[in-house]
Homo-oligomer: A and B are copies of this chain.
Amino acid sequence: MDYITGFKEKDTMEISELLAEGMLGRTVKVNGAVHVIRDMGEIAFIILRKREGLLQGVYEEGITRFDLKDLREGFTVEITGTLAESDKAPNGIEIRIIEIKVLSEPAESMPLPVNKWKMPTSLEAKLNYRPISLRNIRERAKFKLQEGIVRGFRDFLYGEGFTEIHTPKIGAKSAEGGANLFRLEYFHRPAILQQSPQFYKQMMVGVYDRVFETAPVFRAEKHNTKRHLNEYTSLDFEMGYIDGFEDIMAMETGFLQYTMQLLEKEYARELQILGITLPRTDVIPAVRFDEIKQLVSEKYERKMRNPFDLEPEEEVLISQYAKEEWDADFIFVTHYPSKKRPFYAMDDPEDTRYTLSFDLLFRGMEITTGGQRIHDYHKLLEKMETRGMTEEGMEQYLSAFKYGMPPHGGLGIGMERLTMKLVGEDNVRETTLFPRDLSRLEP
């Protein structure tokens, strides 16, 4: 019998430990994957890929006790050597290698030049070799920033009194419409995959006042575009006791401000690797849907075709307008037409053709939909009736309202889209680890 008491001190070091005061000149041990070998004859540079970045090792014939011919890219190793300064090496340090211990060997050499700074590889090829292409330093930096976004979302909301929830993804019916649902058999009963945690988060407002969830959602949409995924991670929150839907926009603005600060502080390395300038979040303009459509139509002499929705091209122009007129990277478009919003959206009492709702556009693309919801049981039933909906399968959702719900609202943010616009990509697959689309079920 053994006892496990928590951490064991390891003698291998991470890059941040090597960079600490007083380490230069000392004998150190590190592990990592062999990212590049640059053989210069008498000496060779062995660049290790570690989780905190690249680390240069210097192989010297006659000093390093290892035959360089026995090492190839893709090996994982443990090296021991003397830590030294080096102007040209990553982080300004290198290890003069004394010993190399091989931990594992690849069976074949790399099918992609993952050790190039910018891989000259198509998106298609990157996705076909996803577990390998992600080993590229720039590729993996994008998903590290994605971590920062989700982390910022959660940490900010914890601080604002929200409770995290975990709601089921398999269900009997779904919140919004039926055409876009994936269907499955659940022990001989028909079931669907949830396209949103909407109903659940609303029910949970009656329990905790403020809730959030960061989880996958599923959309069986047959769109094959640069902005659609059939499975994505949705950052959802819902909050009670609001005075109006402006409270939701204020909370989202607070999240964005918090998160940009977090990225600046904790993810500076990745921002630098990708050369990213963080967007402005101090003030975000909020303009009515009909107004901004008119403004954009006039300024850019573009005919409005669909009065009830925004076309992708219009989203681009609205963002362009916001940048030119207000120096804004984000813009809230408010008061969407009722007929384009789900039944639970609260209509504007001053003009019921519009809703107390909004989208947030970021650099030309919608990344959030949100708004105030109907909280009165009878009004909710009325709205459902005008839309020809029945209560069947919605009894539990409706029960939350029957037994009392505060005024509330919320939003959903597409994690991959927000990341995509932050890092300046133009295809959402670039910022999805393993995308699911019309043709991709693997890897």
Spell out A's residues near B (CB within 8 Å). Answer: 1-8, 10, 12, 14, 31, 33, 50-52, 74-76, 103-111, 129-132, 134-135, 140, 143-144, 146-147, 150-151, 154, 158, 161, 163-173, 182-187, 189, 191, 193, 199-200, 203-204, 206-210, 215-216, 218, 220, 222, 230-231, 233, 240-241, 243, 246-247, 249-250, 253-254, 257, 282-287, 291, 332, 375-378, 393, 396-397, 399-407, 415, 433-436, 438, 441-443
Contact = CB atoms under 8 A, between A and B. Distances in A.
A168 B209 contact: no
B143 A216 contact: no
A150 B206 CA distance: 22
23 contacts: A3-B286, A4-B249, A5-B250, A5-B282, A7-B254, A33-B404, A33-B406, A52-B161, A107-B378, A107-B401, A109-B403, A132-B206, A132-B400, A134-B204, A151-B158, A166-B433, A168-B216, A168-B434, A170-B218, A170-B230, A183-B184, A187-B222, A200-B434
B1 A284 contact: no
Quick one: which of A147, A247, A403, A438 has the most chain B CB within 10 A? A403
A163 B147 contact: yes
Given A6-B257, A291-B1, A203 B131 contact: yes
Interface of chain A: mostly helix, strand, loop or mixed: mixed
Nearest to A173: B442
Nearest to A434: B168
B404 A434 contact: no
B143 A103 contact: no
A286 B147 contact: no
A253 B4 contact: yes
Contacts of A247: 8
Contacts of A208: 51, 140, 144
A88 B247 CA distance: 35
A108 B402 contact: yes
A403 B132 contact: yes
Nearest to A187: B438
Contacts of A74: 403-404
Quick one: which of A31, A282, A443 has the most chain B CB within 10 A? A443
A172 B442 contact: yes
Given A6-B257, A164-B151, A207 B135 contact: yes
Quick one: which of A74, A106, A165, A291 has the most chain B CB within 10 A? A106
Given A76-B240, A170-B218, A216-B216, 9 more contacts: A1-B285, A103-B406, A104-B404, A106-B402, A106-B404, A135-B207, A146-B166, A168-B231, A170-B441
A415 B167 CA distance: 13
Contacts of A109: 403
B441 A189 contact: yes
